[in-house]
Amino acid sequence: MDTSPHPSPSSVSPASSPSARIWEVGALCRAVADALAARFNPVEVRGELSGFSRAASGHCYFNLKDANGQVRCAMFRRSAQALDFNPRDGELVEVVGKLGVYEQRGDLQLIVEGMRRAGQGALFEQFLRLKAQLESEGLFDTDRKRALPLMPRGVGIVTSLGAAALHDVVTALRRRVPHLPVVLVPALVQGAQAAPSMVVALQKLYRMAEAQIAYDAGLGIDAPAVAIDTILLVRGGGSLEDLWAFNDEQLARTVVQSPVPLVSGVGHETDFTIADFCADLRAPTPTAAAELVCQPGDVWLGALDLMEQRLADGVQRHLDRQLQRLDMAARQIGRPSGSVHGQQQLLDRLGRRLQAAAQSQLHSQDKRVQHLASVFPVGTARHLERSEQRLAQLHARLELLNPRQVLSRGYALLTDMQGQVVSAVTQATPGKALHAELADGSVDVVVTQRLLV
């Protein structure tokens, strides 16, 4: 047995093996690629899609995996355009392509030229089963979903302290509503313990929200430090496995128990989880979730400006209507003079009728006296004389009752502006306009003072 020490690999120099080839890195990669192509290509592979993404160029990149391994794949635009379905993470597919080496990184890579469904992967099948079960129980019904408060008093957030989603949400809230209180309850958002961790965090926020609801209802409890009336459950994008905690049944049932509207913002726009279907509102991204729960300050300032303008317009319309009423009242105030004129004409007619009646009565009495004088003896002349004197007295008294005679002695007939006679001091309040009918005309007066006898 040879017991001499063997040289270590690091002590062997290329010069010690004159026949060994020294490879350039690129040449080695190409040689390996050629060997793989000669040994395997074309190759058909079955596996579960993971990390599927479509670049702006139209090329698709993803991993194919099973329980024992995974391989990086690329599908160029021309091949991707021939697909008759939209590949999604978790789907089980069969692909045909060429195995090679991506020389820039030295990675094993499968260039996929065709893809077809081979059934759905285990995770995706589990997702569909739970989705169908919860949907049948009514957890996704739109009738039970609530609208977000227009002006939230406080927002609760459940996410990981180290998540990029937290930074995005806080940045959006600070930009739009820097005055809004925020309560963060950290939780795991990936891994086996993520779902229970999020359940505990949500329940903590639920207790705060329920305390505020009880306080608002006047149940005699102290108000919490922050009025939570909206909750955000957020996480950034990832593969189906990364987001799997949001497909947990216990988490889903906890989401629907929220006492206040809950918004889910999990992953990217194309990602859907069970929590999204259970939430009151789904946002395509965490940033969008933050923007949905609060309007920016300039929007509210614009709304206030609009309300101010509407209020000013309303006040102006009210003033215009009142001015119209005032104009109508002014015109109506001018009309009583016409009514008084009518009453004056009526008074004149009555006076003339009274005078005519008196003269007719006197004429009748004169005729009667003359008749009596011709019938009775001369001895009755004295009686007739007394009768004539009495008749003259009656005529004088009748003349005294003539309204014009009364007015000529300095009296006036007072009426209000509606033509009603004012016969008592209590009817004439200071500042009241009255109409005075005199012997030779009429005047409008205003009461400045009244004195009771």
The answer on 252 and 171 residing in a single domain is yes
What is the structure's pLDDT at 119?
62
- Does 140 map to a domain? no
CATH number at residue 40: 2.40.50.140
- Cα first-last separation, the chain: 156
Nearest CA among 215, 236, 220 for reference residue 169: 236
Is residue 257 domain-resident?
yes
Among the candidates 120, 140, 158, a domain finishes at: 120
In a domain, 199, yes or no: yes
Residue-level pLDDT at 9: 43
Angle, helices 297-334 vs 336-375, to 10°: value is 20
pLDDT at position 61: 93
- For residue 133, tell me if it sits in a domain: no
Would 143 be classed as within a structural domain?
no
Dist. CA 167–CA 235, nearest whole Å: 11
- Name the domain count of the chain: 3
Give the three-class secondary structure for 269.
Answer: coil
Q: Are 398 and 344 in a shared domain?
A: yes
Number of C-alpha atoms within 13 angstroms, CB side, residue 155? 29
Residue 433 DSSP SS3 = strand
75 touches 109 (CB < 8 A) = no
Asked if residue 155 and residue 110 are part of one domain, the reply reads no
Structural contact between residues 228 and 183, judged by C-beta atoms closer than 8 angstroms: yes
CB 54 within 8 A of CB 80: yes
What average pLDDT values come out for the chain (453 residues) when binned by 10 residues?
45 53 77 73 87 92 89 91 86 87 78 81 82 94 91 93 90 89 94 94 95 91 90 89 91 96 89 92 92 76 78 84 81 62 76 80 74 57 74 75 70 83 82 83 84 72
pLDDT score, position 264: 95
Residue 317 falls within a domain, yes or no? no
Q: Which pLDDT value is given to residue 63?
A: 92
141 domain residue, yes or no: no
Whole-number Å distance between alpha carbons of 336 and 436: 12
Q: Has residue 326 been placed in a domain?
A: no
Cis before 286? omega within 30:
no
- 188 and 271 together in one domain: yes
How far apart (Å, rounded) are the C-alpha atoms in residues 234 and 222? 30
* Residue 341 sits in the same domain as residue 422: yes
> Which one of 295, 319, 347 terminates a domain?
295
Q: Reduced to 3 states, what is the DSSP secondary structure of residue 162?
A: coil
In terms of domains, do 189 and 100 share one? no
Asked if 345 and 411 sit in the same domain, the reply is yes
pLDDT, residue 12, reads: 44
Judgement on whether residues 418 and 281 belong to the same structural domain of the protein? no
Q: Both 158 and 277 in a single domain?
A: yes
Give yes or no: residues 159 and 116 share one domain. no
Q: Decide: 448 and 430 in contact? Cβ < 8 Å.
A: yes
Residue 287: count of CB within 10 angstroms of its CB: 19
Q: Which of 120, 137, 157 is the last residue of a domain?
A: 120
| Preceding omega of 42 cis (within 30 degrees of 0) | yes
Handedness of CA 176, 182, 184, 190 (dihedral sign): negative
In CATH, what number is assigned to the domain containing residue 248?
A: 3.40.50.2300
CA-derived radius of gyration, the chain: 54
In 128-258 the beta strands, taken as DSSP E runs, fall at: 155-159, 182-186, 230-235
Same domain, 160 and 254: yes
Q: Could you give the dihedral angle defined by the CA atoms of residues 369, 372, 374 and 375, in that order, rounded to the nearest 10 degrees?
A: 180
| 165 and 233 share one domain | yes
Structural domain of residue 367, as residue ranges?
335-446
Query: What is the model's pLDDT at position 391?
Result: 80
